[in-house]
Amino acid sequence: DINEPTSFNAFGEPTRPRTARHALEGRGGDHREAHNVYALCMARAGYEALRELSPKERPFLFSRSGWAGMHRYGGTWSGDVATGWPGLRASLSLVVGLGLCGVPYSGPDIGGFDGSPSPELYLRWFQLGAYLPLFRTHASLRAGRREPWEFGPEVLEHARVALRERRRLLPYFMTLAHLARRTGAPYVRPLWWGVPEDRALRDCEDAFLLGDSLLVAPVMDPGADRRAVQLPRGRWYDTVTEEAYEGPAQVLVDAPLSRIPVLARAGSVVPVRGEDGGLELEVWAPARGRTGGGLVVPDAGEGWDEPEIERYAARWQGRRVVVTREREDGAGEPSCPVRVRGLG
């Protein structure tokens, strides 16, 4: 934290003075050039120290600041994002923009850093954060508490639902983490990710794709209980009601205080946590005459073992959807239970 670095001086530069000298790989230089590299080097030093301290464990590290290449050592967060509805919007822009710049793991201070959010604002921020890579409540000591129970029983009830869904989706987040490391594709993607030529999707800045399978449409305005959602091409299912929508189109979706709209792409295979705590495949039925599929990277646990990518295909066979695991030697049975949704 504060590794820009920051200096809380009564006067003068809010960072190290320009006269501060740096080695810069032996060639020298002043702080104007080293300011952001300083944070990168601090992240690297922290990462390498954790590797040395616990060589059999994967480090978990995130830094407020950094520079190109920081994704090799950890993630980042928003820093002191302002409390307010504009701050909520800025939080999503930050995560999407960093993902496009090669930093896939990031997130905001839920509720904002420096103020006292209303119960509604806090809940909407919490619901958004549940679908972002870094999910935490945090604020200035002067800004008040950020635990969900501080905002009343109704907020606590709805926050519990969002948190449970976050935990249910942890296998999907694990898969996205491995794919980000291998391919550079971020967890959080703009709606135009697969169709950059679509102007309607390029203009949409208040919704995002979580991987290839889910579309998340957070509520960004006070008092809203419905919101317009711009859909990419294809069929999309409301993950709560299982109502189907056809894109490309703009649709109006219910967004009560209890949840934000989340839609699943038809044909998606999403790894989730089952009721028994084990891995389960949640499969959203493809449109008739079409096929679907998805990738799953099971969590190998602590350590550096390289987990195998599992590939699944979904297709209609008569009146039912059949899911198979694709192997080099042919298709086989899935390695975990399968639940098909969107059949109604």
Is the CB of residue 148 less than 8 Å from the CB of residue 126? yes
Q: Is 203 a catalytic residue?
A: no
Return the structure tokens found at 309: 């990518």
Cα-based distances in Å from 127 to 52, 54, 203:
37, 34, 23
> 286-316 burial by CB neighbour count: b if 16+ within 10 A, else e?
beeeeebbbbbbbeeeeeeeeeeebebbbeb
User: How many C-beta atoms lie closer than 10 Å to residue 198's C-beta?
Assistant: 16
Looking at 80, 157, 221, 225, which residue is catalytic? 80
Active site residue 1: yes
Q: Of 1, 13, 48, 205, which is the active-site residue?
A: 1
Cα 89 from Cα 109, distance rounded (Å): 12
Residue 59 CA, distance from chain mean position: 19
**Can you tell me the distance from the alpha carbon of 120 to that of 139, in angstroms, rounded to the nearest whole number?**
17
Q: Is the distance from CB of 281 to CB of 293 less than 8 angstroms?
A: no
120 noted as active-site residue: no
What is the set of active-site residues? 1, 4, 80
